[in-house]
Structure 1
């Protein structure tokens, strides 16, 4: 798998023949969450998420249909991770380089632009973070002044 992100609900997808992205919607299960402390938003997407499985079910206008409106439908997924299976729906986890087939666009015409996972800093990240690196990544937070050297408490 080597550092590939797992795909979750809300992943940004695009079709090679469409004009706009759409967001993946997990409809096959409601039990397995990834990158979601509350277990309410980031459902794990699997190769069983087929059919009209996007929020708007359209990628805008379709070049394959003379720029008529797209009606996004997934018939199959490829390049999923076969070592991690969720049951139900007996599906393998999708990865950021997984691709979907549409009956109009053909094999692997739908790609994942963003996995849907979002990094959420925790208190520990602030208390143990490198001050110089944090000042470059987030210049609005001054760890030197917001954290006491004795108690390792963060500003969160």
Structure 2
């Protein structure tokens, strides 16, 4: 993988010994948002997000517990990005290649299968777009004439 993304709240994780994925929940900081135009949903995840840090706090049934319900508790993260440290919790940014350890499972048994970021097209993105590319993508529109209606762009 040549490009690695930062992980945010809502990232989908799975355990090698579980049966279903769960969504990551950021509980260690409340100021740093990524890929979130409104700055209210996608908190950046760090290696300090440990313990019970998932929405359901379980990955279905655990094969290590004879297929009884999972009892996930993250004890540590590995593979985080050393160059970003948050002031709030002194945490390092998680990458989509980061892995977590659960004492019931094993070292690095929890992986991230979706980083949680989503693309949002803004007005500035449309203004900066190559007009020829837009004409190829949308051949039956008039590119360059924008009508502003409650922050939505129309061609």
1:125-136 pair list within 5 angstroms: 125-127=125-127, 128-129=129-130, 130-131=133-134, 135=137
**TM-score, length of structure 1 as denominator length:** 0.86
2:69 equivalent to 1:69? yes
1:11-22 pair list within 5 angstroms: 11-22=11-22
Instruction: State the match for 1:84 in structure 2.
Output: 84
1:89-108 pair list within 5 angstroms: 89-108=89-108
Count of matched residue positions in the alignment of Structure 1 and Structure 2: 147
**TM-score, length of structure 2 as denominator length:** 0.87
Give the root-mean-square deviation of aligned CA atoms: 2.0
2:9–2:116 Cα contact (<8 Å) kept? yes
> Which ranges of structure 2 fall in alignment gaps of 5 or more residues?
148-152
What are the superposed Cα offsets for residues 104-135 of structure 1, whole Å, 9 maximum, x if unpaired?
A: 001000000000000111234445252366x3
2: CA distance, partners of 1:29 / 1:79:
20
Following superposition, the deviation at residue 71 of structure 1 comes to: 1.4
Following superposition, the deviation at residue 82 of structure 1 comes to: 0.6
